[in-house]
Amino acid sequence: MVALCVGVAGCALVADDGKAPDDAITVTPDDRSRGVPADAPVEVSVPEGHLESVRMVRRGTGPNGTVAGEFAPDRRSWRPLPAGEEGADVLELASQYTVDAVAVDATGRRVARHTTFTTKVPPHRFTGFFRPEHRQTVGTAMIVSLVFNRPITDRAAVERAVSVTAEPHVPVAAHWFGRSRLDFRPQTYWKPGTRVTLDLRLRDVRGARGVYGTQRKKVWFTIGRDQRSVVDVRRHRLTVQRAGAVTSRVPVTAGTRENPTYNGRMVISEKYRVTRMDGGTVGFGGEYDIDDVPHAMRLTTSGTFLHGNYWAKPGIFGAKNTSHGCIGLEDERGGGARSPAGLFFRHSLVGDLVTVQGTKERTVAPDNGLGGWNMPWNEWTAGSALS
């Protein structure tokens, strides 16, 4: 009989003929291995006979710590399920695993083997900073964006560990901007009422050599009403639509001929009741530094805002473009609740679409803010590491 002493240190497992079973069952990684990478191969095999049972468990996790696996057709080997298959697990770093296997040879003799190995504790980790926020209500043009704190070279592995799903269902595709940013969007704008879920399964996923993920979380957000706005720079006018119907037209001042506003589709990514705008941070030196800009809504990473303006001379709004590229709406110092800027701010959501037309500036780049709607769908899907 086999003496089963699983989990008891110093206890050997022997077959009924008194021989140690180590030669009969081979386990990879080797017994008591340390520093095993999360993507290391795991296998149990026998040179003859067949495996009767194999159980691999992450120590200390209880029944839910069992690693799912499969036998070869001849039952001469066993491996964990391949990554990507339903029910598959990846090795978790800084963990100890136990492997218990029972084999039967051609004569019916049973042998068992118990081994352990410990996965490595990586010196470097990566994290993805995501938007929008958990449980936030956003506009129909919202793009899910992840920015990683370290460059990602194993982009396929990372993308495979992130999913964005919608209820009701619509296809959602990923697009990489360089090695540190991964965005997701549907082919067309979200429908109001849609619930979108971002599932991050990045813990222990290899992002680059020696760099592994830390996150395992699921967040969701809701799509609110459909509001889209168009800025006509030539007419100095902002037109607001709700569900396709015009609700207001607001006079504005946009970028000058020397500093034109970007063309194209932009998405409100941040809202500030009051913020500071310093020209030195966006390449304009000391041309301006206003520490109390009211009702500011960010449109690009490079510094384009739609904001309240209390310092313009009378008659500017709706008549002349005077800004360094931003879009200004009439406002009061401190921010007037009933001012044109205050009303637009109050009725706008992060994720609302703002389209600018009629300038001589180039179209905003897809990675400048949430500018991905300026990219055709076929180009967007081509930016996936899994396409």
Task: Round to whole Å and give the CA distance between 171 and 203.
Answer: 25
DSSP-derived pairing of the beta strands 181-186 and 172-177: antiparallel
Answer positive or negative: Cα dihedral of 11, 12, 17, 18. negative
Q: How many CB atoms lie within 10 A of CB 334?
A: 12
Of the candidates 175, 295, 307, 324, the residue annotated as catalytic is: 307
Query: What is the layout of strands, in order, in the sheet containing 172-177?
Result: 128-131, 144-148, 181-186, 172-177
Residues 6+ apart with CB under 8 A from 108: none
Asked whether the beta carbons of 252 and 261 are under 8 A apart, the reply is no
* Residue 5 known to be catalytic: no
* Residue 326 known to be catalytic: yes
Asked whether the beta carbons of 372 and 269 are under 8 A apart, the reply is no
DSSP-derived pairing of the beta strands 216-223 and 237-242: unpaired
Q: Pick from 163, 145, 156, 148: which is nearest to 213 by CA?
A: 148
Q: Is 216 exposed, middle or buried (0-12, 13-18, 19+ CB in 10 A)?
A: middle
Q: Pick from 144, 151, 244: which is nearest to 194 by CA?
A: 144
Gyration radius of the chain over CA positions:
29
Residues carrying an active site annotation: 307, 326
